[in-house]
Structure 1
Amino acid sequence: MARSPDGTGHGVESDGSPFDRAAIPPAVLAGVLDVGRREGLSVSSWFAGTGLDPVLLYAPGARVSLQQGRTILRRAIDALPGRPLGFEVGERDTLLSFGFLGIAMRASATAGEAFALAEELHLSAGSLLDVEREDLGAEIGIRFRERWPDPGILVFLCEEALASTTIIIRSMLAETPWTPVRVDLSYPPPPHASRYRRVFGCPIVFSADANRLVIPKELLDRPLPTQHKPTRQMAMEICRQYLSPGEAPPDIVTSVEALVGGNLRHPLTMSDIADRLFITERTLRRRLADSGERFSTIRDRVRERRATSLLWDTTMPVGDVAAEIGFNDGREFRRAYVRWRGLTPTEARRSRR
């Protein structure tokens, strides 16, 4: 069983995915980091031992693991005690919270169609809770379920998820203030409980049997003024590509690949990368070995991908391609490329035509 850096052992997600697989877009974590920086906190300390560089949260296509996410959230909550941190993150602009999923939802024909998309594709937006609809008779419950039990961050997760969901519903309906029928929460009232009524504008039930946003069933048939089928289709395809099947790599491998790829012209050493990931070089080497990887193998893989892309998709001279991926000597690059693909760079370029 994997053990998180804060000492809590949770080796497997509820769906059977390893706890240290990098599968989650870091939108929520980036929001928390922004709050900490605005407060002038040393947010880098939240990343100690996680094998994650804060810069990577903002990289295109970035993903983090449940282990990394929970560790960073717990440290952020401890560093900002007594604050409604979940609301501060959840009340951001819908594009920050939902990304392309939010675009697809707003472009749907009806609210019901938008909610169905959220059920199917919520992971593409970096949701840290799972979402499902419940039939409550004349009402519908949008229920949020934990993927792993952690009372230390439950309040944050629910505040973020329910606030962002309420805001996107208001955005879809072009109706402010739109209010739910009721909000149910499985925990007792926090110190800032009065904020819940201000955010949702409806009855709040604490210590309930589940965490849910209750809406009238008739809302499902409500046409959306922002509906646009081509936009919806495009955004859905992007979300599905983000969730394309295949096992997510270990989080440490994803972090190393991202740092290597972002510094190809001026290559980082293994020691440099360990420093950026707030771990020792020895720990980095061990964690890569546990993942069946070596630093040199990852570096070669990232270089080969970038070199092939440049050779196929640009007319950049081979010598410039070599420099772009960190080779000072064109002959050294040629030998490396033959080792990687069995072709010289020139032959690889011709094979693409």
Structure 2
Amino acid sequence: MTILSTWLDAVVDQFELHDLNLADLTAGLWGPGLASIAPTRQVGLVIARRLWQRAAKLSTDPLLGLKVGIGLPLQAMNATGLLMMHSATLREALVHMERYQQLVSNSGRITNHKAPGGLELRYTVTPCHVDMHHMQIDSLFGGLLAFLKHCSTRSISPSHIALVAPDRRLAPRYAELLGCPVTLGARNVCIAYEDRALDQPFQGADPALLGLVRAQAESLLRAQNSSDSLETAVRAALSSRGFADVTCEDVARGLGITSRTLQRRLSQNGMPFRRLLEAARMDEAFFLLTHSSMPLPDVAEHLGYAEPSSFWHAVKSCWGSTPRELRNNAQELTNIASAPMKPSRKSTSSTTAKVPR
């Protein structure tokens, strides 16, 4: 459930280049007293999703996600990018991407599927109580296609891409930026490649360097899996013990280790116990405020806040909205989603596009 901070830092830089106010975008995101995140650290995907939701509110450009992704530097993909860059062909690069993509992002999973005459890349969003904005998905695939163009001197553009961005009228502008046919408003993200593009050799690929980077990537993958397992175990312990009076010593005792060992391992992963506790509290707060009718004072007490004002300020700093605003916004979205819609025969026939399978 994490994203590489190198990628997220590059996204923030792109936001600044597109004239978005960084103070409004990042306020309260990195934790108390932190103005930025350490490089090559894994950051909770909730933070990235909150960042993109704020950006979508602040920007008037419907192509922001795509433009941010296309503008990301090659370094944003870190070791995964090096593996893809030194693969023998696009087909091999996509195999490496599928295995090592979680070193960059766990917001979703890209999987490769054989198709007649080629290959399909399908994207599944990681379930989370904070929705993934379609602009964030645009940025991921804008960044991926832009990166792959740098890996070969020959044309390796996909034959088609389908994205979930809702405004189908923007499809020609997407196609112009991505250099391939695009369908918008799709139910699922899908990228199609033909065999002739998949088997084009990558000039300049270094097999020896590829072997070294692959070994390093495997080491990073093992370390990340261990880190994710520890954070998951701590979050589960916090949830079961309650947030009011839980201490690091309580959690460590339940995990069968000393509190000093737990603190050290969490700090090595860039998430000290106090920050992890506060992050877990805010995740629980978001869920209770948007998925339950529990009174606000009871939510504050459940999360261990002695004063409702402390709870109010914590939620406002973390989510950019007050507890009541979060609850009201969630109710409005529920009402919109449940409202009956009259089908339009004309609009259905004019906007339905065939997505390759």
Q: What TM-score range do you get, normalising by the shorter chain?
A: 0.5 to 0.7
**Separation in 2, partners of 1:284, 1:32:** 36
Q: Determine which structure has more spread, i.e. the larger CA radius of gyration.
A: 1
Give the drift of 1:115: 0.9
The answer as to 2:16 corresponding to 1:48 is no
- Cα distance in 2 for partners of 1:287, 1:186 equals 43
1:320 match: none
Match of 2:95 in 1: 116
Q: Is 1:187–1:208's contact at 8 Å kept on the other side of the alignment?
A: yes
The root-mean-square deviation of aligned C-alpha atoms, in Å, is 3.9
Once residues 47 and 12 of structure 2 are traced to their aligned partners in structure 1, the CA distance between those partners, rounded to angstroms, is: 13
Give the aligned residue type for 2:31.
G
* Match of residue 102 from structure 1: 81
Counterpart contact for 1:107–1:228, Cα < 8 Å: yes
C-alpha displacement at 1:202, in angstroms? Answer: 2.0
Provide the residue aligned with 1:159 in structure 2: 138
Higher relative contact order (CA 8 A, sep 6+): 1
Judge conservation of contact 1:46–1:76 (CA < 8 Å) in 2.
Answer: no
Distance, in Å, in 2 between the alignment partners of 1:285 and 1:194 is: 56
Q: Structure 2-normalised TM-score?
A: 0.59
Q: How does 1:133-152 map to 2 (within 5 A)?
A: 133-148=112-127
Could you say which residue in structure 1 is the equivalent of 2:53? 74
Indicate yes or no: 2:212 matched with 1:234.
Answer: yes
Aligned equivalent of 2:188:
210
Give the letter for the 1:155 counterpart: H
Q: Aligned pair in 2 of structure 1 residues 154, 134: CA closer, same or farther (>3 Å)?
A: farther
Q: Hey, what does 2:201 align to over in structure 1? A: 223
**Matches of 1:175 and 1:145 in 2, distance apart?**
29
Deviation at residue 284 of structure 1 after TM alignment: 12
Residue 107 of structure 1, CA deviation:
0.9
Q: Which residues of structure 2 form unaligned runs of 5+? A: 235-242, 254-258, 269-357
1:173 aligned partner: 152
Task: Provide the C-alpha distance between the structure 2 equivalents of 1:52 and 1:70, rounded to a whole number of angstroms.
Answer: 19
Q: Distance in 1 between matches of 2:207 and 2:33?
A: 38
Q: Flag structure 1 segments of 5+ consecutive residues without an equivalent.
A: 1-20, 254-282, 306-353
Looking at structure 2, the residues matched to 53 and 28 of structure 1 have their Cα atoms a distance apart, in angstroms, of: 22
TM-superposed deviation, 1:112: 1.3
Q: Which has the higher helix share?
A: 2
Distance 1:139 1:299, change over 3 A: closer
* Matched letter for residue 59 of structure 1: P
Contact 1:131–1:143 (CA<8 Å) still a contact in 2? yes
- Counterparts of 2:101 and 2:196, CA distance in 1: 23
- Counterpart contact for 1:47–1:72, Cα < 8 Å: no
The letter for the 2-side match of 1:41 is N
Give me the TM-score of the superposition, normalised by structure 1.
Answer: 0.60
**Quick check: 1:47–1:53 contact (8 Å CA) kept in 2?**
no
Count of aligned pairs between the two proteins: 254
1:88 aligns with 2:67: yes
Identical aligned residues as a percent: 17
Deviation at 1:189, TM superposition (A): 2.2
What does residue 132 of structure 1 align with?
111
